[in-house]
Amino acid sequence: MKTLKLIATGLFLFVSSLMQSQVSVNVRIGSPPLWGPVGYSNIEFYYLPDIEVYYDIRTSQFIYFQSGRWYRSRYLPAPYRNYDLYSGYKVVLRDYHGSHPYYYFNNHKAKYHKGYRGNPQKSIGKNPNYHDNKGYGNSGHNQGKGNKDKGNK
């Protein structure tokens, strides 16, 4: 009887260890937004120099400074609600991994001033607010130039 209890206890511990070993942690970095630039994977943040705002891809949140502190929100702050994310330039922060990119805000602000444009960018998706003369939507040829013209020429 004692041997049977030992075998049962051993079997229980063995099965428990198998169950625990099958539990995995799946850390999924969020999907980039459709207005994000094409060609970058494993990126956590964009910096939008025109409006001095960060975007956290993992949490789908904007990070901005207001009233003396940094805020996170799913939406742009009120003064920038009409900012065109598709045509505005996005600086891809390749060298930062963490949760507080604004610790380097003074460096980012100096290096990527308002109006900064690096290499031309094409958005992942089409701008739903842009229609060319043929009604096809955004072809991406104005991306990265800060052109807020919506095709109404």
What pLDDT, in 10s, does the model give residues 34-84?
A: 999 999 988 999 999 999 999 999 999 999 999 999 999 999 999 999 999
For every residue of 55-79, DSSP letters joined together read EETTTTEEEEEETTEEEEESS--GG
**pTM of structure:** 0.67
pLDDT band at 12 (very low <50, low <70, confident <90, very high): low
Rounded average pLDDT over 73-98: 95
43 vs 32: CA distance, rounded Å: 8
Locate 99 and state its tokens. 């949760």
- Choose among 29, 26, 37, 14: nearest CA to 140: 37
131-142 pLDDT, tens digit per residue, is 655 444 443 333
